[in-house]
Structure 1
């Protein structure tokens, strides 16, 4: 899609050619000046059939984006698994406030608690609501194939680490996609009630990606491979590396 900004030449079926003077992409309204008219005309990009000067239609998203991008991410991971990139994993969990949800893609070794972080491979629903992109050069509303292409272009070295077999996780993920998509996502957040911890694993929490959807009442979803026993101990992220030089200086007598 071409850029849309003040100064863009457009075509309107009743007014002919004109120039945009103001754009509000949050509401979908623009102001444009046509011919010798002294005043600007307000047009809605959703209903007024505005075109670029070369005839390409200017389409504005009429429906708001999904409240959370996780279903789109699941569809992308599913497509990559089918293409042989089975060592690609999607971790999702809520923010402490519970108002928004985070997501994290990682590759390589399947270690849910010690997973590596790559810049641009994680995000938050709070950011997505304002700017509905994943963050690796994709466009709002991009299709699954377009998301895959953008990710491969953004970080080919990172995606190459996902190439390989992980049959049990791929089978679990395929089953999750079949019962959850397109309206629901899974959360790998596990609360530990009390000091005793959890003796048995409850079903994986499932959350709708749009506020208009009812609560999930489908089949229970089990935890992915590699989660056995994780809820019996604290989830601790890797400790930062120790600065040996700094330690030695601290221990030297003054």
Structure 2
């Protein structure tokens, strides 16, 4: 199936050739502009007989689309780990609404809480539904190798900070990818009154995928060091550092 994204040229039997302005892969609706029309036209890919510019039919829902980019990012990070960029980390967590999952790539020291933020290295499934790209000049059909190459072109200085060894984490990440891909991804966030689950949360990346029933997965190396035991419960709770305010007063002058 050819990729669908804003800028894709399409053909409609009543309107002729047009350009996609926005696309929602969860609902199957697109907005397109035809000719010199100012307003966009909303079309349903399942019933409006939209075609690619070369006449190839758009067969929507033959394969459910990914509702988040996390599996593609996991495959890309694994590829970069294998080439020596082992200090590249993927952090994913749910939005407060629980409808979408965020993602954040960071490099350098493995600091899960105090993570460095770089423009273009984070996003959300909410954005991916309407424009299934990362923003690095990639396309929806880009392979993990393509994504790694495009990220290196997009921010070579940022990726250079990932060059180095972290075998403990890269071995864990390799094991998680081999277990979850291509239908599932992991999450480092949860909704359980602040208590950390015993095993790594797993989420399906598309609709109609059954709940994960594979072996339980461990948390990433060093993750539990961030947490402390809460009372007599075997679960752990995050205990953030307390910011202390110091007030400086001048010394009395003689």
TM-score, normalised to structure 2, is 0.71
Gaps of 5+ in 2: 24-28, 36-47, 229-236
- Provide the TM-score with structure 1 as the length reference: 0.71
Greater Rg, structure 1 or structure 2? 1
Q: 1:161-216: per-residue Cα shift (whole Å, max 9, x none)? A: 0000000000000000010000001111155647xx66xx6001001001210000
Greater shift in the superposed pair: 220-229 or 98-107: 220-229
Measured at CA, do residues 85 and 96 of structure 1 come closer, stay the same or move farther in structure 2, by a change above 3 Å?
same
Residue-by-residue CA offset, 1:127-154 (whole Å, 9 max, x unaligned): 1111111122222231111111110110
Q: Does 1:230 align with 2:250?
A: no
Alignment match, 2:212: 216
Aligned to 1:188: 188
Q: CA deviation at 1:60?
A: 5.2
Q: Which moved more, 1:139-148 or 1:160-169?
A: 139-148
1:61 and 1:107 map into 2 onto residues whose CA distance is 39
CA distance in 2, matches of 1:152, 1:118: 14
Partner of 2:128: 128
Aligned residue runs from structure 1 range 34-49, under 5 A: 44-45=50-51
Q: What SS does the corresponding residue of 2:238 show, helix, strand or coil? A: coil
Listed as ranges, the gaps of 5+ residues in structure 1 are 11-18, 33-41, 52-56
Instruction: Give the number of equivalent residue pairs.
Output: 214
Per-residue deviation, 1:236 = 4.9
Q: Cα RMSD over matched residues? A: 3.6
1:140-159 equivalent positions in 2, closer than 5 A: 140-159=140-159
Q: What do residues 34-71 of structure 1 show as CA deviations (whole Å, max 9, x unaligned)?
A: xxxxxxxx97325xxx43xxxxx878574453011100
Question: Which residue is 2:233 aligned to?
Answer: none
